[in-house]
Structure 1
Amino acid sequence: MYSFGAGNSTHFWKDKWLGTYTLKESFPSLYKLDVEKDCMVLDRLGGNIDAVFQGSWKRQLRKGKEARELTALKNVIDGFTLFLNLDTRLWRADASGIFSVRSLRILMVEHLGVHSPLRDFNWVSWVPVKINCFIWQVFINRIPVTKKLKEIGIPLVSVVCPMYNIDDEDVDHLFFHCSFASQIWKWFQDWSGLLMNCSGSGMELIKKLDELVQSKKRKKLKLALIYSVRLVNLEGS
């Protein structure tokens, strides 16, 4: 959304800056004859605060429909006032008008509903972007573990975890239930003092963190460590 100012970034014909419809829709004959269809409001109103339309046509306008459209267009523009400040792009999802990842996340959650993985996923600025992106893939079950590959039709000899050949390799097994992963989580619990039950899913563990840690800063630290430990699990396996 734009905050209209001098008309420097608003298309004269193609943007809805003057009423419900674009001027292209309201005055199709004039639009077809304009030599520069991507012109800005500033180009056609001459840069004056008191707007005066200045057309630039491929040929001289004819009587009839073209002349009537020109008269109607000038009537619509008559009395319109430009501002000295430049046009500004506004972000509707935030009252400040400024884009933020947080406001986009809230908008997506509202759109996708209560079952969206975004509701429980926390983006942690204290770890590298690649770790956040990787954990997001874990949340939406997009890690190419053998069980997942089998489900999408890739032929495999076995979906059993190759490390101990006991359980099927899915996301929760790889990061929590595998003996190797369980040992890493035990070391982490002993060091952090944060008691976590890793018998469920990874999603449940992240949700549980909200109940275990009250301080926002401590919660962020714990999440950063948990995300990093998950990556260690993968690299170690």
Structure 2
Amino acid sequence: MDPNCSISDRISISENGLTFLWNWRRPIRDGREQRDLISIISLCENFRFGSCDKWRCDLDKSGVFSVAPLRKAIDSMALRRCGPPTMWLKTVPTKIRMFIWRGRLDRLSTKVNLIKRGVHLEDDLCPPCKEYLETINHILLECRKAVDVRRNIKYWADWIPDSVSSINDLLFFGQSPELGQL
């Protein structure tokens, strides 16, 4: 591998199209690596190669590559939409921001999600109440322990709404400017 190689060292243009001259440390594996490589190659078809050795990117009107338009293009193809965009408030600790982000995507390790991933568990009930399935909505909104915690926070800080019907309602409210004033 040569980290200082140029684009022309790895891609050549002929009448048959683009030819890629990879120099991998190991062969590409089947499955996800193979699919990712095919996706990258298909994305490269949108780039124009000129006489000078530089990328021209069609994602931006200027033709100059920058990370922001590429990130937006990848996000629009790869990410599912779930409510309003995430606001990363600096006043909220990173662990809490990551918890909120994973909660919005339903990627927290609840019992229901673990069972979906093939983890064997004795049951899928909420440990504190033993009455309902342990889903993200239940543990953060419906469980009597969660209701008690929200009631205590409301009493202490006076900023959580009285009724919340979904995780997005709670998280959207948690992103409000009032949170920065606590």
Q: TM above 0.5, one fold?
A: yes
Which residue does the alignment assign to 1:132? Answer: 97
Which residue does the alignment assign to 2:6? Answer: 11
Which residue does the alignment assign to 1:152? Answer: 117
Match of residue 169, structure 2, among 187, 199, 204: 204
Closer/same/farther in 2, CA of residues 110 and 165 from structure 1, 3 Å limit: same
**Aligned residues, how many?**
147
Q: Is the 8 A contact 1:176 1:182 kept in 2?
A: yes
Deviation at 1:134, TM superposition (A): 2.3
Q: Is the 8 A contact 2:153 2:160 kept in 1?
A: no
1:164-222 superposed Cα distances (whole Å, 9 cap, x missing partner): 21222111111222222212211222233335245422112233567xx5xxxx25627
Closer/same/farther in 2, CA of residues 111 and 125 from structure 1, 3 Å limit: farther
Q: TM-score scaled by structure 1?
A: 0.45
Distance 2:134 2:123 in 1: 10
Q: For 1:72-83, list aligned pairs within 5 A.
A: none
Q: Does 1:174 align with 2:162?
A: no
Closer/same/farther in 2, CA of residues 99 and 178 from structure 1, 3 Å limit: same
Gap runs ≥5 in structure 2: 16-49
Which residue does the alignment assign to 1:162? Answer: 127
Q: TM-score scaled by structure 2?
A: 0.55
Question: Comparing both structures, which one devotes a greater share of its residues to strand?
Answer: 2
Gap runs ≥5 in structure 1: 1-8, 16-21, 28-75, 81-86, 226-237
Distance 2:97 2:112 in 1: 23
Q: Does 1:185 align with 2:144?
A: no
Q: Is the 8 A contact 1:139 1:203 kept in 2?
A: yes
Higher relative contact order (CA 8 A, sep 6+): 1
Closer/same/farther in 2, CA of residues 198 and 219 from structure 1, 3 Å limit: same
